[in-house]
Structure 1
Amino acid sequence: MAKPHHLKRFYLLLFLLYSSGITLYAQKAAFGQIDTADLKLTSCSFEKNASAMVLFNTAKASYTKYDGIDMEVHRRVKVFNEQGTVTANVKLQYYSGGHNEDIKNIQVISLNLVDGKIAITPLDPKLIYVQKVDKTQKQVVFTAPAVKAGSVIDIKYTWHTSLSYNFPSWLFQELIPTRYSEYQAEVKYGYSFNVIKKSTQPFVTDTAYLVKEQRLKRHVYAMSNIPGFKLEAYMGSVEDNLQGVYFKPAQSEMDWNMIGLRLLLTTDFGGQWNLPLKGEKDIINEAKVLKTDEDKIAYIFNTVKNTVRWNETDLAYSEKGIPAAWALHTGNSTEINLMLYRLLMQSGVKPTLLMLGTRDHGEIEFNNPSFDRLNKTVVRVPIDSLQYYVLDASGKYNTYNSTPYDLLGINMLTIDPDKKDFQIVKLKTALPSTEIVLVDASLNPTGKMDGSVQVASSNYKRISKLEVYDKIGEKKYLEAIKDDNNNLQLSDFKFSNLEADTLPLREDFNFKLELTGSDDNYIYFSPNLFTGIGANPFLSESRLADVDFIFPSTYSINGNYKLPVGFKIDALPKSTILSMPDQSVTFKRTTGENNGAVVIHYVIIFRKTKYTRDEYPALRQFFKTMYEMLNEQVVLKKG
């Protein structure tokens, strides 16, 4: 059964390059013809700070004479400033496996006002390139010519598939705003699709009707004034949250069992774990003499993780074969974990596999069996009849006995090659990741604070911190701790327990803080220092994506602030408890005075990991109140 192979790669890459969207414009502007009012536009009326705007997209999808599908696309973009010129760079990605898809009939022009007249600059067809992305994907690449602030980019092309059930779905929403978007889909008699609509705003057109003389059903969908999608804290993949319309075959022979069986038959997946790795006999013999399966699992996991470096690519298959990746000491995540799977099998352990779509790629859907979103493989090993280890040897800080946090809470396909058993499962953890902060500080009469900080991060907090540190480096990491506070200075920063992954990661540093607003008689300070939770991520009144914290967390922040000589407490935040109505998040503050010091203790517990958009208002209100409490000041008075 045909599948819409193009959907994930095609739309998401276009989206990320500000060049996605398959839509129709109600006024049917012809290619190259434009109202000068659009050339004179200086901003988007419904999103003033936008660097560019999609004026319209047009697409008409219909069957060809031989039951293929053509989708004719016409897209027009207005550039407002220099930042918006990136919309000139276009990559149209498509599924090239089996030559089932293609992009053709490409026309590109740029339009500019020069001395009050419209100047048209066409793109030389020789500057349109086709590039190989991987084994199954290609992309058409070009840059619209003569693009600058004020330009309009006009693009036409045809996307084609030879597969009759590969009917294109598409997205209305992009990173930049869209003034008007309409799609016309003509489904001929004999084909049936379920239409799934994802929208957070009303359609201006939403209709379907029969055209008997042409023996087809015509669907027309349109939206106007669509805001640019804003990346939000704690969200999943972009595509999972965009407004769009999706065509799914009403009757499909494809299910997850069939997908699993087909994967086992492919040479670049199911054919890989029978291929020997150079020097593997020594590893296998070493593992076989170990007394327990757990010892074998730990040894082989660490051997693979330390031998092969992840190339930061997630794919559902092996690109060059696992023997070659092993010899080169580098590979994608599936290659590395198929090596792990093979060595475990050869050592007498009985592993199975899990395949998934990562959060940034898009989660697989139980009711939509498809190869499209599968882009990573990990290994599962039974501990007993109820428990499993889930292993991913591609992660630098992953351990064999702790499920990697990026695998939690998303659908996965289990693959048991021996039993030919395939199920959809979702991994969970009830174990919270904790962060304990100890602040020991002194204040002086001139309104300055200095002291030391210890931070202990366990479980997933430990791993995520180390990953961030590796990615951005120490300088930016310390800047993040300072949180844009120019009055704060840090020194003597160091990590401890880096090599002992069973112990909490410890951070130690000293600090000096200039307290603003203080005078000769009063000192003001907020004990919301180094809490680890950062700034409030939920300031927006509305939310486009669901909230995904991934794993439960507990924060314990303890502050001891020694009073300066001659000062006493004038105002102290009250001890209090704040909870979400369902107790999914609680905040507790305990305050007091002890031996001439202000003592403040915060405990914040996140028990629930996912909140829908409908639950967002209550979550936002909780965070608003919690941050107001965190920012309440201590007031010290002289005398």
Structure 2
Amino acid sequence: MTKTFTLILACAITLTVKAQTTPTTQAFGKIDKADLELKSCDFEKDANAMILFDKGDVFFDQQYNIIYNRHKRIKIFNTNAKDEANIRIEYYSANREEYISGLQAQTINLNNGNVEIVKVDKKQIFTEAIDKFRSAMVFSFPNVQAGSVLEFKYNLTSANVGDFPDWYFQSHLPNRYSELQTTVPDILYYKNLESRYQPYAVNKGDAGGTQVRAIANVPSIPNEPFMTSREDNCERLLFQLLSIRGVGAASQNFSDTWTKVGTNLMENDYLGGQLGKKLTGEEAIIAKAKTMKTDDEKIAYLFAEVKNAMKWDEHYYKFSDDGINKAWDKKTGGSGEINMMVCHLLKKAGVKVYPMIVSTRGNGKVNPGYPNSYKFNSLVAYIPVDSAKSYVLDATNKYNLYNQIPSNLLNTFGLALNKDANSYEMTFLQNQKAVRHFVLVNAEIKPDSKISGTASLVYYGYKKVNAVEKYKTDGEKKYIDYLRDDNNSMKISNIKMEDMDVDTLPLKQSLDFALDLTGSDDNYIYFNPNVLGAARTSPFLSVNRLTDIDFGYRNGFTLVGAYKIPAGYKIESLPKSASMAMPDASITFRLIIAEQNGTIAVRYVIDAKKSMFFKEDYPDFHEFYKRMYEMLNEQIVLKKS
């Protein structure tokens, strides 16, 4: 246990004891004046808003419908929290399997010492259809200002006993008190998956099956560089139905294995039932694919056909809404429909392919020890080539490569659905090879404190995908701004791009550049040789870290530069060659610099041996990045002779 973690835990215990001496929740509409006068969060002073309390109560009616009552109260400290007034509650509305009732919402203000309540007009509460299966109840609070308290409550009824609501104690806002009460009948057995580092302020149960668990003074989870989803890092309670107890043979088990989960999905009309649907005009496409000699040629061709033919509606979904044939005719669809088309065409062309359900990085990671389909939010095509090689295809992004796992799936699990072999296996999706980025600079330093030269940049893999997407989406001018990294002293011209559309080759770029060396004077020239290379500012400036770091892939960066010294100048100060590494050697950095025959040669090399780093190791990680960026930004000083 690190010192940082111990300190956080000790503070959490102290704050929890304090919280237990104050009211935790209150009845709807009843509020302490002190909460209306509250100016800041006691345990997170810079918060723009906080949750005063969030209370959930889950129980069952006589028909074993799940009843989920939720009551939440939010305090607004300043206008930066105005978006907290917009509420969106999503639910599974197909066949009225879930529905919301009893919604009440109001804004509470203190006006000249008097409590003023403005209720949300029911005419301003809207039900939005997300797709064929899901809906959202949407509304906004009126009269929101600094000091307001926003309060709402609702009931969510679910006809599916397997749809027990998960509970997140933690969110993007600090939470003074978060409580979940559950009452479960004896005949139902749910597995709990618990993730927390703070002690419970309340943890009690009774013989009737009621259990109350609460945490006080829960810190927010901020957006941090290279984090995955917030949900992955939150303190939480997840629930999975394992069995319904009955008498003798009446007992029934549910989704306690991935095989059961996969079998149910392949028997679903909106997933497994779509994979054999014929697409209009598919005969010509399949016939052309069959003329190709290798599977790789077929895969690349059919993947490109679907990417070019279909427009993604920007919805991740593992099912088909109206059928893949209708989506094909409309030329637009969700992720599930588009990638089912890829599966269908590849299989018709003789390629061994299976659908795979996945959860994107932004949606959160699936726990392999927690078999259920609810956490997955999308579908891709999966091609196992051999024991060491496989392809994962997602045709929703036109810049994805057929031979590279999509970046938004890296370091996540996917469930491959092989119905023919009755095989349903969880597969970890990772890229084990370093993704390289090379920069070659050849430049001349001028006596008037300017640099001019040429550069060649080579991007592989994900770096190529990102660069090509930026170039084609934003245009050349904005792409040049991206290369300049907001350095207004640099001008880039004559940029040439090669092999943008060849999946098997890296992206090659050549360009001319000119750089004004600001800060120089009549006697000295100052310049940083890290030109067009690594960013000038570390993304890890914060001293503390609450979430794990997940780059997705291993980074490999090399810059080789040659800078000709102007006549009449000599080197006054030259950075020293150096190398350093993380304590476990997971990242190494080398700087090699020397002068020879009037030219300064420099080489920077960054090599990461892994892509994920735990928050507990952040002190070492932060110190490494701090020192590395100090060396990346160290200047060379030339003095007039």
TM-score (norm. length: structure 1): 0.89
Cα distance in 2, alignment partners of residues 482 and 399 from structure 1: 26
- 1:154-173 to structure 2, matched below 5 A, reads 154-173=151-170
- 1:128-527 to structure 2, matched below 5 A, reads 128-200=125-197, 202-210=198-206, 212=207, 215-224=208-217, 226-249=218-241, 251=243, 252-254=253-255, 255-384=257-386, 387-470=389-472, 472-527=474-529
**Residues 258 and 229 from structure 1, CA distance in 2 versus in 1: closer, same or farther, beyond 3 angstroms?**
same
| SS of residue in 2 equivalent to 1:131 | strand
The offset of 1:384, in angstroms, is: 4.7
The offset of 1:534, in angstroms, is: 5.5
Residue 114 in structure 1 maps to residue 147 in structure 2:
no
Which of 55, 58, 61 aligns to 2:58? It is: 61
How many residues were matched structurally? 610
Cα distance in 2, alignment partners of residues 394 and 72 from structure 1: 37
**Residues 295 and 194 from structure 1, CA distance in 2 versus in 1: closer, same or farther, beyond 3 angstroms?**
closer
**Residues 277 and 34 from structure 1, CA distance in 2 versus in 1: closer, same or farther, beyond 3 angstroms?**
same
- Tell me the alpha carbon deviations over residues 110-131 of structure 1, each in whole angstroms, 9 at most, x when there is no partner: 1223333222111222222222
Alpha carbons 1:189, 1:217 under 8 Å: kept: no
**Structure 1, 134-143 or 479-488: larger mean CA deviation:** 479-488
Cα distance in 2, alignment partners of residues 530 and 622 from structure 1: 22
Cα distance in 2, alignment partners of residues 63 and 621 from structure 1: 52
Cα distance in 2, alignment partners of residues 253 and 58 from structure 1: 28
| SS of residue in 1 equivalent to 2:272 | coil
TM-score (norm. length: structure 2): 0.89
- 1:523-542 to structure 2, matched below 5 A, reads 523-533=525-535, 535-542=537-544
Cα distance in 2, alignment partners of residues 394 and 345 from structure 1: 19
Which of 124, 128, 144 aligns to 1:127? It is: 124
Cα distance in 1, alignment partners of residues 356 and 473 from structure 2: 27
Cα distance in 2, alignment partners of residues 72 and 326 from structure 1: 41
Residue 84 in structure 1 maps to residue 84 in structure 2:
no
Cα distance in 1, alignment partners of residues 518 and 219 from structure 2: 39
Alpha carbons 1:521, 1:638 under 8 Å: kept: yes
**Residues 77 and 325 from structure 1, CA distance in 2 versus in 1: closer, same or farther, beyond 3 angstroms?**
same
Alpha carbons 2:536, 2:633 under 8 Å: kept: no
Alpha carbons 2:361, 2:410 under 8 Å: kept: no
Alpha carbons 1:172, 1:223 under 8 Å: kept: no
Alpha carbons 2:571, 2:638 under 8 Å: kept: yes
**Structure 1, 369-378 or 41-50: larger mean CA deviation:** 41-50
Cα distance in 1, alignment partners of residues 474 and 625 from structure 2: 27
Moved over 6 A (4+): none
Cα distance in 2, alignment partners of residues 207 and 223 from structure 1: 12
Cα distance in 2, alignment partners of residues 303 and 511 from structure 1: 38
The offset of 1:77, in angstroms, is: 1.5
Residue 619 in structure 1 maps to residue 621 in structure 2:
yes
**Residues 191 and 264 from structure 1, CA distance in 2 versus in 1: closer, same or farther, beyond 3 angstroms?**
closer
The offset of 1:636, in angstroms, is: 1.3
Alpha carbons 2:179, 2:212 under 8 Å: kept: no
Residue 38 in structure 1 maps to residue 39 in structure 2:
no
**Residues 592 and 236 from structure 1, CA distance in 2 versus in 1: closer, same or farther, beyond 3 angstroms?**
same
Cα distance in 2, alignment partners of residues 443 and 420 from structure 1: 67
| SS of residue in 1 equivalent to 2:458 | strand
**Structure 1, 435-444 or 473-482: larger mean CA deviation:** 473-482
Cα distance in 1, alignment partners of residues 270 and 288 from structure 2: 28
Cα distance in 1, alignment partners of residues 181 and 62 from structure 2: 18
Cα distance in 1, alignment partners of residues 410 and 85 from structure 2: 38
| SS of residue in 2 equivalent to 1:168 | coil
The offset of 1:474, in angstroms, is: 4.3
**Structure 1, 549-558 or 373-382: larger mean CA deviation:** 373-382
**Residues 154 and 192 from structure 1, CA distance in 2 versus in 1: closer, same or farther, beyond 3 angstroms?**
same
**Structure 1, 410-419 or 505-514: larger mean CA deviation:** 505-514
Cα distance in 2, alignment partners of residues 322 and 190 from structure 1: 40
**Structure 1, 97-106 or 592-601: larger mean CA deviation:** 97-106
Q: Which amino acid aligns with 1:236?
A: T
- Tell me the alpha carbon deviations over residues 22-80 of structure 1, each in whole angstroms, 9 at most, x when there is no partner: xxx94432322323333233333433433322222222223334433323222111222
Q: Which amino acid aligns with 2:199?
A: F
Alpha carbons 1:589, 1:601 under 8 Å: kept: yes
| SS of residue in 2 equivalent to 1:620 | helix
Gaps of 5+ in 2: 1-21, 244-252
**Residues 445 and 44 from structure 1, CA distance in 2 versus in 1: closer, same or farther, beyond 3 angstroms?**
farther
Cα distance in 2, alignment partners of residues 29 and 474 from structure 1: 57
The offset of 1:397, in angstroms, is: 2.3
**Residues 351 and 204 from structure 1, CA distance in 2 versus in 1: closer, same or farther, beyond 3 angstroms?**
closer
Alpha carbons 1:183, 1:220 under 8 Å: kept: yes
Cα distance in 2, alignment partners of residues 512 and 330 from structure 1: 45
- Tell me the alpha carbon deviations over residues 341-364 of structure 1, each in whole angstroms, 9 at most, x when there is no partner: 222222233322222111111222
Cα distance in 2, alignment partners of residues 248 and 347 from structure 1: 39
- Tell me the alpha carbon deviations over residues 74-133 of structure 1, each in whole angstroms, 9 at most, x when there is no partner: 211122222322211111111223423222111111122333322211122222222221
- Tell me the alpha carbon deviations over residues 352-409 of structure 1, each in whole angstroms, 9 at most, x when there is no partner: 2222111111222211111212222222334456533333333312333343344333
**Structure 1, 437-446 or 335-344: larger mean CA deviation:** 437-446
Alpha carbons 1:183, 1:222 under 8 Å: kept: no
The offset of 1:165, in angstroms, is: 4.8
Alpha carbons 2:327, 2:333 under 8 Å: kept: yes
Which of 548, 551, 561 aligns to 1:549? It is: 551
**Residues 453 and 294 from structure 1, CA distance in 2 versus in 1: closer, same or farther, beyond 3 angstroms?**
closer
**Structure 1, 340-349 or 476-485: larger mean CA deviation:** 476-485
Q: Which amino acid aligns with 2:413?
A: N
Cα distance in 2, alignment partners of residues 116 and 494 from structure 1: 67
Cα distance in 2, alignment partners of residues 627 and 386 from structure 1: 36
| SS of residue in 2 equivalent to 1:77 | strand
**Residues 328 and 162 from structure 1, CA distance in 2 versus in 1: closer, same or farther, beyond 3 angstroms?**
closer
Q: Which amino acid aligns with 2:152?
A: I
| SS of residue in 2 equivalent to 1:336 | helix
**Residues 346 and 546 from structure 1, CA distance in 2 versus in 1: closer, same or farther, beyond 3 angstroms?**
same
